[in-house]
Every structure is written in C-alpha cells, then in structure tokens.
Amino acid sequence: MKASTLAAAFLLMVFSASALAAAGRLAEIRLQQEEIRRQTEDSDGRYVRFDKGELAKLRTAQDTVFALLDGVSELSELRPSQQVDLFNALETVKAVLAANDADRQLCWREQRLGSHRIETVCATVAERQQIREGGQEWHGEPSICGSASAGATSQSCLPARGGF
C-alpha cells in the first residue's frame, strides 16, 4: 500500500512539474516577445537594421502571439487551430529576426483524403514554394499507358486524345 501511495505521489509531482514548466514556457514566450517589441521600438535598438516592411511583419506576428496568449496559462487551453496559429506567428518572428523566410516553418490543419481526422501538417516556406512550382510546371496531357508488346517489360504511353 505504501509503494502505491509513493508512486501516486511521484506521478503527481511529475505532472505538476510538467504543468509548471509549460506555464513557465508560455510566460517566457510572452516576456521574450515583449522584449523584442521594446527593442524594435527603440530608435537605436538591436533591430534598427530592419526595414519598415519587415518590422510591420514582425509586429503583426507578435500581435497574434499576444492575443493568443492573453489569459492563457497552459498551451492545452488553446484549440489545436490556435496552437497552429501560435506556432506560425512565432516562426514568423524567428524568420524575420534571422532574415531567413525560406526556412520558416508553416503549419496548417487539413483533413486527410478518405478520413475524417484533421491533422496538423508542417513544411518550410521553401518546400511549399517548390511543391507549388512543381504543380505549375506540369502541363502534361492525359495518357494511356500499356505494354509495348505482349512479352515486353517496358511500357509505352500514347496521348489519350489520339486514341489507338
């Protein structure tokens, strides 16, 4: 009986510590974003090298972070879509500060084909651009493929509009 009580106390302590760590992490994010905001507003601040467009992008992302974290003490209090929005906003801030938008992670929620489950999917801006360009480059015509001859191992494809 004593062992089970000790185990329960240990588990409670571990879960409490992880909850405090998560709450501490959100507070740390808020403080970090407030400090970055202060430094961007100073005329001689650390981020004076950025142009107005980049600073506007940074501030818009920070406004999203502040709005999402307002009154929230745990990440689990946010809906999954809000968690994605928070992640995207923080990634935007990081990308602006690092001056590297191509490596910024971007996440979205989508329903997988043939399923009712909604999943979070992430890719970098560069990966999404590459996929988009790959889709635009394909201007092929539908084709009909079949064996070139009765024992051949290769396939031949003919345009569908020409027929056989």
Distance separating alpha carbons of residues 13 and 7, to the nearest angstrom: 10
Give the burial class of 150: count Cβ atoms within 10 A of its Cβ; 0-12 exposed, 13-18 middle, 19 or more buried: exposed
Q: Is residue 31 part of a domain?
A: yes
Q: Is residue 155 part of a domain?
A: no
pTM: 0.59
Tens-place pLDDT, residues 38-93: 988 877 777 777 888 999 999 999 999 999 999 998 999 999 999 999 999 999 99
Per this entry, what is the length of the chain?
164
Q: Is residue 62 part of a domain?
A: yes
- Rounded (10°) CA dihedral 31, 63, 84, 30: 10
Q: Is residue 141 part of a domain?
A: no
Q: Who has greater pLDDT, 5 or 61?
A: 61
> Packing angle between helix 80-98 and helix 2-41, nearest 10 degrees?
50
The pLDDT value given to residue 17: 38
Tens-place pLDDT, residues 85-117: 999 999 999 999 888 777 778 888 888 888 889
The pLDDT value given to residue 99: 84
Q: Is residue 147 part of a domain?
A: no
What residues make up the domain containing 40? Answer: 7-135
| Domain count for the chain | 1
